[in-house]
Amino acid sequence: MIELMKVASSSSPSAVAGAISSIMRTQEYLNIDTVGAGSLNQAIKAVVIARGYLVPSGIDIKISPSFREIEIDGKEKTAVRLRVEKK
């Protein structure tokens, strides 16, 4: 079970959307961590695209955002976590 995905500002929204839709077909939820505006932007676009893939097959999703403190290269950073769940 994949519980956490990390999205970077360089991530392709279409590729991430494919991964999200594949995971959400078999799981009830997925957490996506982003650090910075660019990665959050790519993650949001990916969720919107994934929803477009899933809705025609009868699966709808929603997101719940929250803040998380994570460590990157020994430094504390604030991440935005998007919890993607089936409606």
Cα gap 33→14, rounded to integer Å: 17
> What's this model's pTM, rounded to 2 decimal places?
0.93
Confidence of residue 14 (pLDDT cuts 50, 70, 90): very high
Query: Which helix (H) or strand (E) is 20 found in, with range?
Result: helix 13-26
- CATH code for position 81: 3.30.110.20
Domain of residue 17 covers 4-86
- What is the domain count for the chain? 1
Residue 33 has pLDDT above 90, yes or no: yes
Confidence of residue 37 (pLDDT cuts 50, 70, 90): very high
3 state SS of 74: coil
Of 9, 86, 78, the C-alpha closest to 44 is 9
Q: What is the mean pLDDT of residues 27-37?
A: 97
Cα gap 83→26, rounded to integer Å: 16
